[in-house]
Amino acid sequence: MADKSLDNNNNLKDVRYDHKWGFNDTRFRANPDRTVTVTGNRYTISGTTMPGFIPFVEEMLDIKFDMDDIKPELEMKPVPDPIVNDGFCQAIEQSFSADRYTLDRRERLIHSHGQTTADELNKVLYGSLERYADLVFYPQSHDDCVKLVQLAASHNVCLVPYGGGTSVSCALQLPAEETRTIVSVDMRRMNKIEWVDHENFRASVEAGITGKQLEEELDRLGYTSGHEPDSVELSTLGGWIATNASGMKKNRYGNIEQIVEGITMITPQGVVEQLDPQPRVSIGIQPNSLLLGSEGNLGLITKAIIKIHKIPPVKKYGSLVFPDFKTGTDFLYELSQTAVLPASIRLVDNIQFRFGSALKPTPTASEELINKIQKFFLLNVKKFDPNKLCAATIVMEGTAAEVAHQEKTVYSIASKYNGIKGGEGNGKRGYMLTYAIAYIRDFLANYHITGETYETTVPWSKVHDVIEAVEKLALARHEEYGLPGRPYVSPRITQLYHTGVCIYFTHGFYTKGITNSDKIFSAIEKDLRKAILDAGGSLSHHHGIGKLRKEFMDRTISPASVEMIKELKQASDPQNIFGIRNNVLAD
């Protein structure tokens, strides 16, 4: 079932699935001839019929893909009666119109989970959750939020901020031990740009706006925020701040902490904000720094002042093919030490390179000829190993002169590492495939294949150690648990820094016939996270901690740091009104 009621301003153009990822005009559909088609026309891949998809999955997982064996989803999903705080509900009825809140079972279920595969999504689709929202509230203004927080404090009700629902860290998993009424506060009706300062390139934006809405509104004015996470269509400005998010074009525009100049949050003790946000200030401990990465623990983020940029006059895609992943990483290392990084550059390993090929339609006669020529050149002339070669996708933005300089620098350095240009079309297609990944996850789940992504920040010196540790342990755990076939483990480098990179791992396996497969998946995920830390990686680059990684926080910050955070929480929210219990507050 699709969710229509939550679309802002009664706009039904973008109707979302209730529980799965994305928009309901888009899905991967298996055909009787064992091809796969992408429905709709939303993405560059939409309308594509792919003959290589299923054979690739079979090869990678060493399984037989049974087209008729579809995992049945629960039609009637269990939702218990709500825990009702009569005094609070009466106060809500007296203070707000009826369209601001609901006890509807479907709405409560939608707002009771995020997108963490095994620990949330699979439970809601095929089983049951441990705890459900009791009421959903839809504020439409800052004043609505102030009033709501006051009422919650007066009646001792638990509030949980809800943005796009895209969390993959169990940050939206509701605490099973919470006995109070839990109110999910859906911020997405607060989706306006309040003002734009054209001279100083700033805008004040309500926190419930999605990335898609923000970019569409700014585009009409000739601007962009430049923040483009994989979830940009669905996630919200408030969610980006609460998770300390990163975007694909951070090289040009910065991560969210470089984009935001001011944040407004409502806590039970009042409004927290810097009264006069500036490009940079030295005023001691700053409110903005405390709110970034707060993960719903401290209050409701209602708006932010962000930097905006004129839409660059030139955008150009590119791609490169390298003989192997290590060589591609060496290229990125040298490139990172220059002052000429493209807006985005990402390196995918051989598995993802081949997966990208599997997602292409049957080539025309002319395309097939070109493919044969390119393949002959790579394999016979350049002597690349087809099972080792990898690819980089590139996005360059700026003036014509800037883009030309980026191109010259990137391709000049690439030539030193035997990099071969793969063409602008492949670059654009590879970049845009990012938006299809979660749809692929949900399609494969129908056929007993569970998958998830893990991200980490790694120093340059530890990149290959971390990758090797994850691959080795994933194979070992797969064998120890007696899982069928073999696991899918594939890394890609998505963001570059002066001192290191962000590595994104995709991990999955076939679960047909496996009892408690979700528990096994969760156990392996924790083991892999420990392996990442042991090999020199970080706990998270941009997904956040939530409840999924809470047990590793003692390896990230000192005991005194933990106590400081807990004391801040106690001072700002002594009743634990914002009781989602993420990160070190999970205990």
* 242 φ/ψ angles, rounded to the nearest 5 degrees: -65, -25
Strand partners, 158: 182
Residue at token pair 């609505």:
144
User: In angstroms, what is the C-alpha Rg of the chain?
Assistant: 24
Q: Which residues contact 369 (CB under 8 A, 6 or more apart)?
A: none
From 317, 417, 435, 504, active-site residue: 504
DSSP-H helix ranges across 381-445: 400-416, 424-432, 437-445
Q: What is the largest CA-CA distance in the chain?
A: 77
Secondary structure (DSSP) of 440-477: HHHHHHTTTEEEEEEEEEEEGGGHHHHHHHHHHHHHHH
Q: What are the Cα distances from residue 314, in Å, to 21, 400, 425?
A: 32, 6, 16
417 is catalytic: no
* Residue 261 near residue 306, CB atoms below 8 Å: yes
Sign of the Cα pseudo-torsion (146, 148, 149, 155, in order): positive
> What proportions of the chain, in percent to the nearest 5, are helix, strand and coil?
40, 20, 40
Q: What are the Cα distances from residue 572, in Å, to 9, 262, 266, 315, 562?
A: 33, 19, 10, 45, 16
Q: How distant is the alpha carbon of residue 360 from its chain centre?
A: 24
Which 8-state DSSP code applies to residue 312? P
Output the six-digit token pair for 558: 């000192």
Residue at token pair 């089983």:
127
* Residue 407 near residue 318, CB atoms below 8 Å: yes
Half-sphere exposure of 243 (CA within 13 A, CB side): 31
Secondary structure (DSSP) of 328-349: HHHHHHHHHTSS---SEEEEE-
H or E stretch at 480: helix 463-480
* 538 φ/ψ angles, rounded to the nearest 5 degrees: -95, 170
Output the six-digit token pair for 113: 């989970």
Q: What are the Cα distances from residue 582, in Å, to 128, 296, 364, 555?
A: 21, 8, 52, 16
End-to-end CA distance of the chain: 36
- Return the active site residues: 504
